[in-house]
Structure 1
Amino acid sequence: MRQSLDPTLYDSSLIDALIDARANFGDKEILEDQDRNPLTYTGLIRAAFVLGRKIAAMTEKGERVAILLPSSMGTVVTFFALHAHGRVPVMLNFTAGETNVKAAIKASGVRKVLTAKRFVEQATLDNLIAAIETVADVVWLDDVRKTIGLKDKLYGLSAGLAPKRFAVKTNPDDPGVILFTSGSFGTPKGVVLSQKNLIANSRQVDAHIGLDKDWVLFNPLPTFHCFGLTAGAILPLLQGLKSFQYPSPLHAKQITDLLPQVKATLLFATDTFLNQYARVAEPGDFATVKFAVGGAEKLKDETRALFESKFGNVELLEGYGASEAAPVVAVNQPGNNHPGTVGQILPGLEYKLEPVEGVDAGGRLFLKGPNIMSGYVTNGDPLRWEPVEDGWLDTGDIVDVDAEGYVTIKGRAKRFAKIGGEMVSLTAVEGIAGAVWPDNRHAVVAVPDTRKGEKLILITDRHDAEPAILSAWARANGAPELVVPKKIMKVDEIPVLGTGKTDYVSLQKMAEAA
């Protein structure tokens, strides 16, 4: 029996939910970044209303306005600035390349893109900005802030005192954000998440985990990715946890140095980044961290072993999500952690498994609940979206659920190959390579084969990798010879997306070209 969630907990607009959080948790310090000038709830609300009024003067109510910024206090302020005045944020992935960014702008009907000169200079995005300027107006927030005068500050003071009187009224079912899937298996899709979706997912995680309001959450994940936006930025604000926003998950040494300085308790990241942090960190760097939550990709045994050997105080909790689910679907709980699974499905979510040919245990996962998206942006009309049929989201993931409700991910439907009539999980084959060479990164793709339908190719950064070694491991561990890749491609580095996920699109092209 799935635990229910009280609908009144998410029957609100996002700006009202932020204002209510101040009333519930007091005017505490709630947000900080590299500049080390933390904001209280009131400081955040005032800043959002002041900036929001400036942006409102150049846009229309309900207009979709893009944000091209890294994780920072400024991004969070800008996000809520748009909501305070009834605009819809569109989060742009600045690592996706000019073609995908321009396509996202057109697909979502964006006319203005908000960004900052310091960020563009540091990230060397001049070419991207030039490309964006061919399809939308670029608004420099640095210049906007210079125009804030006395009247604006007085407006901010008034809005800070009685924000619900100043907020533009919107409905819980109105769009809360449009963001684009990572595109690891094809062209990114525009996902419309309602304000209710985002609030509900925050409430679901809190009900499932039991978040301590004294925890400090460290978020190095990009807010153009749903995990970084909802779990890393919105969740702590709405549930009373202070968060520290860091602009790039790639800065392993800087991040591990910062963790004890900001007294981080909770860290969100992907396996790729957690592994890097564990390798460069000194034992004391994780002294204050109680939990690290890994999502977006499988948490590998090697990463767990690294943490256990260096930071015995840190519990690694694996979770699972999808952009279309705002994004958290399931996660392990502190003190109730089942490694190898992604935990139990969150309160308020219904699920069903549809049989998949060749898969004996489990099936294709469908989800229904308050955090399931409004729909995908349509190509023909940016202001409309394709709703989820009957409210049931097809995740495209093959999972198994045990008697206690713990979910094991077997792979993407697209990440299965049919070899000689047998269904083979490419994720499981990657697990074999990881067991043989745990210190390296591996990816497996399938290409057409005239004899057996498809064949497996292992792409690895292990330069002495040979199929015979994999075959020996398979025989010793009872794995069928069918799952052993006969061809291995060796590369200097496995390509990853800005979110830390493996870039299977590039790898597939690489394998097909070879």
Structure 2
Amino acid sequence: MQKHLMRSRKFAPLFWTQFLTAFNDNFLKQTLVFVILAQMATEGAALVTLAGGIFIVPFLLLSAIAGELADKYDKAKMAELLKRCELLVAAISVVGIAFSSIWILMLALFGFGVISSLFGPIKYGILPDHLENRDLPKANAWIEGGTFIAILTGTMVAAVAFREGENVWIFGPMMMGLSILCWFAARMIPSTGSKAPDLIVDRNVVRSSYRLVSELRADSRIWRASLMNCWFWFVGAFIMSMLPVMVTDILGGSEIVVPAYLAIFAISVAIGSAIAGWMAAGRIVLLPAPIGMLIVALFGLDLAWNLWGLQSTSHAETISAFFAGPKTIRVAIDLAGMAIGGAFLAVPTFSAMQSWANEDRRARVIGASNVLSALFIAVGLALVAVLQAVGLSIPVIILSISVLNIAIAWLMLKMLPTNAFRDLVSIIFRAFMRLEVEGLENIRKAGPAPIIALNHVSLLDGALALAITEEEPVFAIDYAFAKKWWVRPLLKMCKFLPLDPTKPMATRSLIKVIQEGSPVGIFPEGRLTVTGTLMKVYDGAAMVADKTGAMIVPVRIDGLEKSYASYLTSSHVRRRLFPKVKVTILE
């Protein structure tokens, strides 16, 4: 039985390293905000903005070099080294609190930003080194959800710790203790080895960033997945930057309410990540991305509607009093819906980039994507500032971005790197028939154009075959069956080759498809089983393999023979509406 990810040494140490990193980053950042507001009320807003910029700038400048370093050296050893350096930065932050020095704390925050930017390509690039492709969506869901929970808890703990003012005896042990735990977790990450030991690291940050982003564009699938992922960060930064003003000026809450909305947002991201990881389990499925973007747009429209015309006349001092006010719960629901939709976008796109990138340059792909994400975040924050400066209200700004998101969702669907119909079929089988696939790596071992030979137990076998492989195969289908009225619309959404078994030339068509480099799916029995066992197996697959040298990959379907789409009767099996389906791909 497969070990749960959180009990696996291949994943759990990385998860806790990232969780504690995100907690410490936000614990320090929020503490710095409180120190700024306590000491310099008149200049506080400008310094808080500066603090945000100091943390994000390293991601923009260093992510590309971080990707190169992670490909050149052992990622686990780099993670341990970074977390060792983080101990020094944590000590600097403690000194800043001890002396109540904003600028020492700014220096520490910059140090945390540098370490986090260097760690970014490691944490996402290392997952495929230790995990199978089928586990990547689930692992990314844990990382994404855990990160947002850590951000929330770091922010809230800072608020509680600073309630009585800055206290080095509270801040110091907590910061140093968690940093030491983070370092111990990093030490437990299994070694990966060097993936590109001969790589020459380009120390020119501008040139390396430009080059890696240009290389990212060379692979259209990864480029599109990266842009979709970047849009998640753009919209997140866009909406979250308006949250404090939305709470205080429109909904009539105090600063204490903002963490409550952040909690709702973070928990919803975790929930959405879990759902997205479940939907995309087994193979790379990107249909949730445009669906998620549409969800973000629709909840955004409702958020603009709920905020329209509101203006606070008084400020609720408690959370319970605030949520008794008009539209406050509706706004919470809208933020939760947008967070869940955003997770649908983030988790599958990260998994796609990890899976599609070559092993020896995977970290550089993640680094280039992080450069773009930081740029999108900066643009999003700047755009909000400009729109507010020209006098647009927050409801109008949210309405505008929501309408734009509808167009972006349509564009994502149109430019989707995967087949949307295959993704939908995969999600349906996962949702209703608890699809489980074993041995997917055997298809990759068989080369670029294998012959996938499946047993034939139901009318749903063809649809199921679409859902189990990464590469889209060309399916050999009976000529008469392909002419049925209800089959023709479905065939327009996949690759197929109608064959007339009475004509000897039919086999040549299959040979030509394989010679062109496409995998072929075939049902060697030629008809559905009426006994529950294999029917007579025809030699077409063997003949094609002999003529082309292609490998035959046998695939066993279990479960669909119990569905009402099979030819078996109740005397053969106990029929069910949604039986559990298991697909075993053999060597």
TM-score w.r.t. length of structure 1: 0.25
More strand by share: 1
Structure with bigger RCO (C-alpha 8 Å, 6+ apart): 2
| Structure with max Cα Rg | 2
TM-score w.r.t. length of structure 2: 0.23
